[in-house]
Amino acid sequence: MTLLITHGHVIDPGRWNGEADVLIHDGRIKAVEPKLHAKLEQSASLTTIDATGLIVCPGFVDLHVHFREPGFEYKETIATGSAAAVAGGFTTVCCMPNTRPVNDSRSVTEFILAQAALTKKARVLPIGAITKGSKGEELAEIGELYEAGCVAISDDGMPVMNSLVMRRAMEYASAFTLPVIDHCEDSHLSQDGSMNEGLVSTELGLPGIPNAAEDVMVARNLALAEFTGARLHLPHVSTAGSVRMVREAKARGVAVTAEACPHHFSLTDEAVRSYDANAKMNPPLRTDADVLAVKDGLRDHTIDVVATDHAPHAVQEKQWPFDSAPFGIIGLETALPLTLNLVEEGILTLEQAVAKLTSAPARAFNLPYGTLAPGTAADLVLLNPNASWIVDPAQSYSLSRNTPFAGWTMKGRVEKTLVGGAVVYETLPRQPR
Amino acid sequence: MSFKHKDILSIAALSPEDVALILEAAEPFKEVSGREIKKVPALRGKTVVNLFFEPSTRTRTSFELAAKRLSADVINVSPSSSSVVKGETLLDTIRNVESMQTDVLVLRHSSAGAATTLARHVRSSVINAGDGWHEHPTQALLDLFTIQEKKGGIRGLQVAIVGDVAHSRVARSNIRALTKMGAHVRVAGPPTMIPPFLERLGVRVFHHLDEALSGVDVIITLRLQLERQGRSFFPSIREYSRLYGLTAERLQRAAKDALVMHPGPVNRGIEISHDVADSRSAVILDQVSNGVAVRMGLMYLLSQLH
């Protein structure tokens, strides 16, 4: 089967940026060239998609999602999470191991992969646990997790507080060149905190999480990465201090990549003032100075990747009082327009913004996606960068509704998403769930 | 001038005029509590529910007496916070209570913002009787009432708030109320108990009590929560008391006729010495009796809206 996407503006970061047609054969990219439609003969086996006025780019790669299956299927399943992913333009997502049971074994990894295969939407790549049960004590069977298909290891949400355990994990994982991801939070410093520690927490009387809780662990992890030579990936960088330290470490040649989440460059802790638990996530929304630093980090590529930390929670959980509600927000369907805002603000070029969602994350985890190179899987997004829409959580494809962006007008919309050459999402007509 | 609020959630949400109006409304009710028959019909036929998710004797009793002296029907509900977190949401609990046609919900909860969140979802007036470390507006109002009664006014007074400001809703409400009404506020405590950027609320921060007390007209001492020692906020009760306890000797540094206040319950010999607590400067019991009048005034104002 052959598919031709015509008349689009193709952005294949580092490879092509301009009008071109994309030829797909048997689910793989065959060619990206201008005016292919004039050269190819019409035939019954050739399907055409007209992408006039649209940007055509590789499907987005999200290094950080929580799909809650197994264990918390009332928040999200692999099927609903994948549906939200492709609706947001993500064709590959890496799911964190904090399920129940924790993904610290081949059997859980294989279960996730099997569930993902059934949904036939986004590619779901599991991240294995660093330690058994993510308890931070003994290493999980990292070698077997790798063989089973895990693309990285992390005890996400449960920072590995013991520095010796982290050292050993980094050393051990380097045998498989597996990236090690550590949620950087000194849990003694953050203690019972539920929002950024600063003027707003003082006014609201909410327990704070200081920037130092993140900075201390970023410093430790950078020191250990430099020492062990391991591949370190820092998720959801939220503080000016983290950005500064990563910049410095990269300049010294430390093998580190870093990601920022759209909420950390779009909102500050002012969003907590109404005590809306949909503005509660970890790391928390910080201050203007931190937002500026994160944007600077994205601009100078200290921060390589935009990732969502898509963290669904049920409506009733987010109705608990702020301090007892769970951390996290959904993000797959709002990541594109929030990232495009950085283009509008002059922080990134359009090609750079696309790269942060495609080629850069793929490179960080050594994945064969996020590119339109001939021979690679035909995972693509067709998007309209100028289309406006209003965020209505009830319309989300996620099982959960926890977004702080409800009611926001967003600019930039996914029109079509293809995985392996098959259309897995189309914006119109939007099916009510 | 009239009172336009459906709820009393925080001092932050009140204007200086609102505060003045509440203090004025409380005045006649003070007289009611001094009568032989301590009852007026202002809230007859109204239902007031005290929902206390945190243990409290003083505040709950004060609200209950205030409502009863206004002839309201009053019930007290004290669900345990833990069962709410685990099963029924706070919102469901409140909606169930409200379905019995209540008029005023008085809420105390260990979570900051609980009253604010709740008020958005119910028809009844919500009075915040303390939410986490956030606010305890009626405490600040009764403190202001007491200061005004003893000092003839609030504007221009020097007021020191001493102790664990970081974990104190009383401190937050008082800082807002006092600065709103034109007093000069200082806070004093160890750096571990002063929250960040507190000066931005218009106060001066001191870490040495003697300096903070110099020439002040009012001293509000905060209750020390003794369990904070184990969490490294201070080394020992002994040292806390030596550095931040209000003694007769330290009181000398304050202005002549300075008032000593405390929201209760008092840890005698820790934040305040025995002799100071019983001295003529101490108006701690006046605060308690004024609390009933202020809460009567407040409920009266809210009932005028219905």
Regarding whether B78 and B200 lie in a shared domain, the answer is no
Set A300, A309, A323, A392: catalytic member = A309
Alpha carbon distances (Å) from B135 to A15, A269, A272, B203, B271? 58, 19, 16, 17, 21
What is the total count of domains within chain A? 1
Regarding whether B278 and B245 lie in a shared domain, the answer is yes
Residue B55: pLDDT over 60: yes
Predicted confidence pLDDT, tens digits, chain A (433 residues): 899 999 999 999 999 999 999 999 999 999 999 999 888 877 778 999 999 999 999 999 999 999 999 999 999 999 999 999 999 999 999 999 999 999 999 999 999 999 999 998 999 999 999 999 999 999 999 999 999 999 999 999 899 999 999 999 999 999 999 999 999 999 999 999 999 999 999 999 999 999 999 999 999 999 999 999 999 999 999 999 999 999 999 999 999 999 999 999 999 999 999 999 999 999 999 999 999 999 999 999 999 999 999 999 999 999 989 999 999 999 999 999 999 999 999 999 999 999 999 999 999 999 999 999 999 999 999 999 999 999 999 999 999 999 999 999 999 999 999 999 999 999 875 444 4
State the average pLDDT over residues B101-125. Answer: 94
Scanning every residue of chain B, which has its alpha carbon at the shortest distance from the alpha carbon of A326?
A: B85
Using an 8 Å CB-CB cutoff, list chain B residues near A320: 85, 89-90
Regarding whether B278 and B141 lie in a shared domain, the answer is yes
Higher pLDDT, B1 or B255: B255
Q: Is residue A330 part of a domain?
A: yes
E-strand stretches of B190-266: 203-206, 218-221, 259-261
User: Which residue is it, tokens 């638990």?
Assistant: A277
Q: Is residue A8 part of a domain?
A: no
What pLDDT was estimated at residue B168? 97
Residue B80 — pLDDT band, cuts 50, 70, 90? low
Nearest to B218 by CA among B147, B128, B142: B147
Residues of the domain holding B175: 137-285
Q: How many CB atoms lie within 10 A of CB B148?
A: 20
Rounded to whole angstroms, the Cα distance separating B171 from B169 reads 5
Regarding whether B125 and B258 lie in a shared domain, the answer is no
Q: Is residue A9 part of a domain?
A: no
Q: Is residue B10 part of a domain?
A: no
Q: How many CB atoms lie within 10 A of CB A289?
A: 13
Strands B259-261 and B218-221: parallel
Query: What totals of helices (H) and strands (E) does chain A contain, helices first?
Result: 15, 18
Scanning every residue of chain B, which has its alpha carbon at the shortest distance from the alpha carbon of A315?
A: B89
What pLDDT was estimated at residue A433? 41
CATH number, position B62: 3.40.50.1370
Q: Is residue B5 part of a domain?
A: no
Q: Which of residues 292-351 of A touch B (CB under 8 A)?
A: 316, 319-324
Nearest to A18 by CA among A6, A26, A10: A10
Residues of the domain holding A82: 58-364
Scanning every residue of chain A, which has its alpha carbon at the shortest distance from the alpha carbon of B109?
A: A321
The shortest CB-CB distance from A205 to any of B85, B89, B112 is to B112
Q: Is residue B63 part of a domain?
A: yes
Positive or negative, the CA dihedral B84, B89, B90, B96 is negative
Residue A422, SS3? strand
Using an 8 Å CB-CB cutoff, list chain B residues near A321: 90, 109, 111-114, 117
What pLDDT was estimated at residue B306? 56
Regarding whether B131 and B45 lie in a shared domain, the answer is yes
What are phi and psi for residue A323, nearest 5 degrees? -70, -20
The shortest CB-CB distance from A324 to any of B85, B195, B201 is to B85
What pLDDT was estimated at residue B254? 98
A274 vs B: CB within 8 A: yes
B197 vs A: CB within 8 A: yes
A203 vs B: CB within 8 A: yes
Quote the distance between the C-alpha of residue A335 and its chain's center. Answer: 9
Give how far A318 is from chain B: nearest CA, Å: 10
Strands A380-390 and A409-419: antiparallel
pLDDT (tens digit per residue) in B230-255: 788 999 999 999 999 999 999 999 99
Please provide the average confidence, as pLDDT, over all residues in chain B: 94
The shortest CB-CB distance from A199 to any of B132, B134, B197 is to B197
Residue B78 — pLDDT band, cuts 50, 70, 90? confident
Q: Which of residues 110-149 of B touch A (CB under 8 A)?
A: 111-114, 116-117, 131-135
What pLDDT was estimated at residue B1? 59
pLDDT (tens digit per residue) in B166-224: 999 999 999 999 999 999 999 999 999 999 999 999 999 999 999 999 999 999 999 99
Is residue B86 flagged as an active site residue? yes
Residue A265, SS3? helix
Q: Is residue A373 part of a domain?
A: no
State the average pLDDT over residues B77-82. Answer: 70
Rounded to whole angstroms, the Cα distance separating A320 from B254 reads 45
Q: Is residue B1 part of a domain?
A: no
What pLDDT was estimated at residue B305? 76
Residue B49 — pLDDT band, cuts 50, 70, 90? very high
- Is A204 in Cβ contact with B196 (below 8 Å)? no
Q: Is residue B264 part of a domain?
A: yes
- ipTM field: 0.95
Give how far B2 is from chain A: nearest CA, Å: 26
What pLDDT was estimated at residue A43? 77
B83 vs A: CB within 8 A: no
The shortest CB-CB distance from A202 to any of B111, B117, B198 is to B198
What is the total count of domains within chain B? 2
Give percent helix, percent strand, percent coil of chain B, each to the nearest 5: 45, 15, 40
A202 vs B: CB within 8 A: yes
Q: Is residue B9 part of a domain?
A: no
Give how far B111 is from chain A: nearest CA, Å: 6
Regarding whether B141 and B131 lie in a shared domain, the answer is no
- Is B132 in Cβ contact with A323 (below 8 Å)? yes
State the average pLDDT over residues B51-73. Answer: 95
Regarding whether B224 and B292 lie in a shared domain, the answer is no
Strands A422-426 and A409-419: antiparallel
Rounded to whole angstroms, the Cα distance separating B130 from B108 reads 5
Residue B228 — pLDDT band, cuts 50, 70, 90? confident
Regarding whether B249 and B155 lie in a shared domain, the answer is yes
Regarding whether B124 and B28 lie in a shared domain, the answer is yes
Using an 8 Å CB-CB cutoff, list chain B residues near A213: none
H/E run at residue A209:
strand A208-209
Q: Is residue A181 part of a domain?
A: yes
Q: Is residue B3 part of a domain?
A: no
Give how far B94 is from chain A: nearest CA, Å: 13
CATH number, position A275: 3.20.20.140
- Is A321 in Cβ contact with B113 (below 8 Å)? yes
Query: What totals of helices (H) and strands (E) does chain B contain, helices first?
Result: 12, 9
Q: Is residue A98 part of a domain?
A: yes
Regarding whether B180 and B110 lie in a shared domain, the answer is no
Q: Is residue A156 part of a domain?
A: yes
Using an 8 Å CB-CB cutoff, list chain A residues near B196: 197-199, 201-202, 208
Regarding whether B77 and B39 lie in a shared domain, the answer is yes
Strands B158-162 and B184-188: parallel
Q: Is residue A323 part of a domain?
A: yes
H/E run at residue A33:
strand A28-33
Is residue B179 flagged as an active site residue? no
Rounded to whole angstroms, the Cα distance separating B7 from B13 reads 10
Query: Among A190, A192, A203, which would you mutate to test the B interface (most chain B Cβ atoms within 10 Å of its Cβ)?
Result: A203
Where does chain B have alpha helices with state H? Answer: 16-32, 58-69, 81-86, 90-98, 114-119, 137-151, 169-180, 209-213, 237-244, 248-251, 274-277, 284-303
Regarding whether B91 and B185 lie in a shared domain, the answer is no
Alpha carbon distances (Å) from B205 to A108, A184, B147, B212, B237? 54, 32, 21, 8, 22
